[in-house]
Structure 1
């Protein structure tokens, strides 16, 4: 152990001359920064999910319209063949 005011503590002056470190405020600020980063990461991920869902929705609609077009083509073909048989 070293004595106060010795070589290890030779900074001079009183310790009350300097601003004290407020650990609670620093902890709160750090938590706010972490929360902000988490929100930005969440927003980034949600935007990617939204774009993926939009692409999936487009693909589903293409499949629906393709199926409808196939059924209409089959119906038209049946009508043409029925007209040719008569």
Structure 2
């Protein structure tokens, strides 16, 4: 630490480490970006899960329709 003389500006005697301040600011920005990315990926994951449920619901609906058509064909053949 430097010894100050009475009077004058403190900026003449205290050093400011601009590189360290810039690095700290960049680290904070990077942390916020990672947090935002993590949040967004969570949202995308939730949307994909809902989409997957809808797709499976459609697949099961088509399978049920085909089974119902097959059962109806078998019943009509048995009635004749």
Band of TM-score, shorter chain: 0.7 to 0.9
TM-score by length of 2: 0.86
Paired residues, what number?
Answer: 73
Provide structure 2 residue ranges, at least 5 long, that are not aligned to the other structure: 1-5
Matching of residue 72 in structure 1 with residue 47 in structure 2: no
Q: Which runs of 4+ in 1 moved over 6 A?
A: none
Offset at 1:74?
0.1
TM-score by length of 1: 0.80
Structure 1 vs Structure 2 CA RMSD = 1.5
Which structure features the higher share of helix residues? 2
**Structure number with larger C-alpha Rg:** 1
Relative contact order (C-alpha < 8 Å, sep 6+): which is higher?
Answer: 2
